[in-house]
Amino acid sequence: MARVKVTYVVAEDVARATRVHAARMDRRDSEVVEAALRSYLGLGLLDELWAAAAGLPSVTLDDVVDEQHAARAER
């Protein structure tokens, strides 16, 4: 994925906390900011859902309807 350089103005305490966190995690400030933005924006969630769904068996609408009828018959 291509990277672009951006400039934002943030509160001094946020910038300081970002630098401290990055140093403690042995990461760059930009990596911490990108990870935080990705998490906040939910960018990784769809990838995680697709990856989880890839391992599941394929289910059709007919399968769902059959299960629904079977469940009702058990009552």
| Mean pLDDT of the residues in the chain | 90
Q: 59, 64, 8: which is closest to 36 by C-alpha?
A: 8
Averaged pLDDT, 34-45: 89
From residue 10, alpha-carbon distances to 7, 22, 62 in Å are 10, 16, 53
pTM: predicted TM-score of the whole model, two decimal places: 0.59
Per-residue confidence at 74, pLDDT binned at 50, 70, 90?
A: confident
